[in-house]
Every structure is written in C-alpha cells, then in structure tokens.
Amino acid sequence: MTNNKFKIANRKSQIENQITDLLDPDKIKAHLKTERIGGKILVYDSTSSTNDIAAEYAKNKQNDGMVIFAEEQIAGRGRVGNKWLSGRADSILCSIVLIENKLNAELLSLTCAVAVAETIGRTGGSQAKIKWPNDIMLNGKKVAGILLESRSLPISPFDSAQGEKLLHAERRRGIKSKIYIAGIGINCHQKKDSFSVQIQPAATSLDMESNSVSDRILLAKRLLTSIDQWLETAEKNGDKVIDRWRELSIQLSHRVTLLFNGTSFTGHCIGIDPEEGLIIQLDTGGVRMFNAAHTIVAKPPA
C-alpha cells in the first residue's frame, strides 16, 4: 500500500468508527413486527440507485416487500429528473419492492407520504408535514422525499428514467401495472453545509431540526413498520389515508401554483382525489385535478 493509499484507507476507517448507526440488516430486522414489508432486507455499501437494484429484485414475485438500503448512492435520483445527492451514511436511502398491489399509483403515493411523515413525526418539536406530492417537510424545509416508480414487465421493459411517466402512460393504455418501487430518502445527519448553497434555504435534516443525533437503525425500523401499517390500512379503507393526508398537508386550503406539462395554474387547494391527484379551485374559474406524474409545484404565489 502506498503512503497515500494508506492515508485514505486510514481516514475511511476513522470516519467509519465515528458512525455508530451504520445500517445492518440484522439490526433492522431485530424485533421488526411487520406483515409484508422487510421480510428480506439488503444493505449496499454503495450503489447507483437503490431503485435500480429494487427493480431487478422485483422481477421475482417472491420479493414482494423486500427492502434495499444503501449507505451511498452514486446516481440517486429524485422526482422530475432531479438528482438526489447525499453524503455517505448521512441518510436513510431505501427502496421498497411492491409487487402484490391493490392500490393505484396516486393512492400508493399518498400512503407512502403519510407513512414517511408519521415516521419522522414530531422531530424537533414540530410535526412533519406533506407537500404534495411527495415532499416531507419539517419546519417549512424539505427533510425527505419519495420517488414512486412502476414497471410493467413482461409487457414492456422497465425504463428507470421513464418510471414516473410510465405510471400514467400505463393507465391511459388500460394496463394496470401491479409492480411499484417506492424509493425513500430521509436526511438524517446532514449539516447546513452538507447541502449546496442553492438548496440550503429549502433543505434540512433530522439532526439539524432536533439538535441531536438521529439513530438511523431505529428510524429504518420505524419507517418499515409505518409503511407496513399504512399499506394495510390503505388496502382496507383508503379514506383513512386521505383523512390523515388532509391533516398533514401544508397545501390544503392554501393557494398553490402548479406547472402541468409546462403550463402554469394558480388556485386554491380544496382537496385530494385518491385516483386523480390534487384538486384545485382555479383562479380562472372551474375545478381541476392534477396528477403527480405530470405536475410540478411552483413557488407559492405572492
């Protein structure tokens, strides 16, 4: 080993020693009381995107409920083509394989958002809230995000870059895909300067909001338990998810501006439809629904 390589290896092991909550499948599984989620758990040290790994495992029906975690992603992705960047061992980065689905994409997306918001709960004294479709907010800043992708094998090959578009393309063609990958990123140990200057005003982490150090293993257990319970609830009675979403939404009863396929719409958010998405009373008159796959939430109107 050259001197430089030795220094790098030594530095890496120093960093590892400081991380006390490295993800470990056995620790996450210990006393995990879930029905469907987390029967199989894998932890990757580093991978491209956990959603890609999960999509591979989703080819086997027996992997329903499987969860893929990673300490680091080198090609993590967010909604609408954004990158999802995170330092090593700073976050919960995971993807859940959902093969046996009774829920449509919109309700599944709301269910995941409710489950993640409840997992984060009252960190730092404030209840985590949902900014439709899938941003989880703490004290007005984004602390977590969810990327729901579908695949429709064997009808057509899964194209990860097209994942979100596929959800709706399939619906229009009448093909009801039953396979979803729910990718979840929760910021845990980031500090202010972990985020780029541009996103610093809008991003936060659990540690920043609580002034303490979060325990990612405990959080992972709570997350899987919450997803498991809310999926079961949604399948039995979707209205319960809608009711909880209404309590946690930061947009309900507020003015919002949305970009739908590039066109801007402003109005009052009056509700959520479990199949069609956000319901807006438009300033220009009329009520219109906006689905998550084609809509971007713009900055709040002045």
Residues 159-218 binding ligand BTN (CB under 6 A) are 183-185
Q: Based on the shown chain and the rule CB under 6 A, indicate whether residue 71 belongs to the binding site for ligand BTN.
A: no
- Give the interface segment with ligand BTN, choosing from 32-40, 77-85, 244-252, 277-285 (CB under 6 A): 77-85
**Which of these ranges, 28-36, 47-55, 246-254, 258-266, lies near ligand BTN under the rule CB under 6 A?**
47-55
State in angstroms the smallest separation of the CB of 195 from ligand BTN. 14
Residue 279 backbone dihedrals phi, psi, to 5 degrees: -105, 125
Residue nearest to ligand BTN (CB): 145
> Looking at beta carbons only, is 71 or 118 nearer to ligand BTN?
71
Q: Tokens representing 282?
A: 């438009």
Output 52 or 209, the one with its CB closest to ligand BTN: 52
* Helix (H) / strand (E) containing 250: none
Q: Is 118 in the site for ligand BTN (CB under 6 A)?
A: no
Torsion sign across C-alpha atoms 64, 87, 110, 233: positive
Q: Taking CB under 6 A as the rule, does residue 38 contact ligand BTN?
A: no
User: Which distant-in-sequence residues (6+ apart) come within 8 Å of 91 by Cβ?
Assistant: 185, 186, 187, 188, 189, 190, 216
Smallest distance from ligand BTN to CB 147, Å: 4
Q: Is 13 a residue that touches ligand BTN (CB under 6 A)?
A: no
173 burial via Cβ count (<10 Å: 0-12, 13-18, 19+) = exposed
| Residue 80 zone, left/alpha/beta (φ > 0; ψ -120 to 50; rest) | left
Burial 71-103 (b: 16+ CB within 10 A, else e): bbbeebbbbeeeebbbebbbbbbbbbbbbebeb
Residue 150 is a binding residue for ligand BTN (CB under 6 A): no
Provide the binding-site residues for ligand BTN, judged by CB under 6 A. Answer: 49-51, 73, 76-79, 82, 84, 93-95, 134-135, 145-147, 183-185
